[in-house]
Amino acid sequence: MEKAVQQVKAAQEKFSTFNQKQIDAIVKHIAETAFAQAETLARMAVEETGMGVVEHKKIKNELGSMGVYESIKDEKTVGVIHKDHRLKMTEVAYPFGIIAAICPTTNPTSTAIFKTLIALKAQNGIVVSPHPTAKRCTVEALKICAQAAVEAGAPDGLIGWITDPSMEATTRLMHHPAVDLILATGGSGLVKAAYSSGKPAYGVGPGNGPVYIEKSANVKKAAQLIMDSKTFDNGTLCSTEQSIVVHKNIKEMTMRELRNNGAYFLNEEEKMKLGNVIAPTEGQLNAKIVGRSAETIAGMAGIEVPVGTRVLIAEEDRIGKDVPFSLEKLAPIFPLYTAESDEEALRICEGLLNFIGRGHSCSIHTTDEEAAQRYGLAMPVSRVMVNTMASIGAAGATTGLMPSLTLGCGAYGGNISSDNITARHLFNTKRIASGIKEVTVPKPAPQGVEPDIEAIIDQVMREVQGNGKSMDLEDVSTTVRQIVQQMSKTL
């Protein structure tokens, strides 16, 4: 860890002299090279972690490489980035320096590529701490990026990593005096550690996003999208739908369409068996089910399901630590909640998010724009997907959201940002501002200077004589005060 930080520090000092054109050429070559290795890295990730689907991890690697590159390629991130002639102000970008990046086991290679690209685009160096269960594939992705960077003219050592990661090494990396910013993607404990490091940090919270199938929805299309989203990489994306909430008027139709798309509905006995596998300890997810297929998980629970079963579903009406199906599962498992009305649906969805996943994401399927608006305004999240796959929609694959594999949860989730984190979050902005307004500053009265009494008496007499009529004591007093005030302003 220490060696990696020192190498990156030396390289970043040289890199900080590069111009925008040089940096853009390096970032482009890294993205293209990583994109070409997307399938190889996907296979490595599945083999090492046992999680997910090769074809789907390939898509994530492609999004994390060229998808991200296309979204940032035209952004100015070096030197003068904006001039406002009306306000006579120039904005200048300057890098944080060295970024410590933590990568998860669920999306190891795609996150490594993505964080490397946005860090270098903003003229930073990066040191990555892989997850211990995904270190081989993560390091391979970083080696590919590092070699491509050097080929394009970057200083050697600009991309570093911890070869033998551990919680101790990661903690020391986050506290290292040379580290300037932390990009933390992982469990809540890791994110809290990043926030308590004393460094600026972008962390993310857990996802537990519900999907509401509103009564006007195209049920056939909604069921297909939800099932495709839930089975994408076996549910390892934190933005994936975790619970289905359906309006009672379309419940039977929805269940039929879900079955048509490979869902298996559990009976009460099977529900209890699977619940014990989801959370053997109350409130704690069993890591062994993460990223596994529905058939594999059913086998773990001793449940026989038809060949080709894609998702396991159980009807549910409760939320809490003692309700395993209401947890964030990161696997092809759904609870199905029935809502008597739109108002009840909102209460259920909000209850799920307040339990786990507040600030992250949720989704709705509807043909009623007003219903989508009401839902979006009511939900305590940072992104709401409408009529699309929430899993990859939140990451920008099927929506206009910024392509990203680090999704901020904002104030709802205790994060500093509610954005999809990208290159623009990884540099600072210096502002050179010229004066555009004139301000007259009044001079204060000198301390201890007495007004000229003779002058005041003389002026009062002139006022009295010029008035042409007699003045009582009150008139004289008022005149004296006015003259004293006028004279004080000129002192």
Give catalytic residues, as residue numbers.
238
Token representation of residue 450 = 């007495």
346, two tokens: 């909102």
Q: Alpha helices of 279-368 — where are they, by DSSP H? A: 294-300, 342-355
Burial class of 224 by CB neighbour count within 10 A (0 to 12, 13 to 18, 19+): middle
How many helices and strands (H and E) does the chain possess? 18, 15
Q: How far apart are the two ends of the chain, measured CA to CA in Å? A: 68
Pairs from 391-394 (Cβ < 8 Å, separation ≥ 24): 391/229, 391/230, 391/232, 391/233, 391/235, 391/237, 391/239, 391/240, 391/241, 392/59, 392/63, 392/229, 392/232, 392/237, 392/239, 393/229, 393/239, 393/363, 394/237, 394/239, 394/361, 394/420
Residues 35, 136: Cα–Cα separation, whole Å: 18
Kind of pairing between the strands at 89-95 and 243-247: unpaired
Find the helix or strand (DSSP H, E) in which 101 lies.
strand 98-102
Query: In angstroms, rounded to a whole number, what is the distance separating the alpha carbons of residues 421 and 264?
Result: 36
Judged by DSSP in three states, 377 sits in helix
| Cα separation, 371 vs 323, whole angstroms | 29
Grouping H, G, I as helix, E, B as strand and the rest as coil, residue 114 is helix
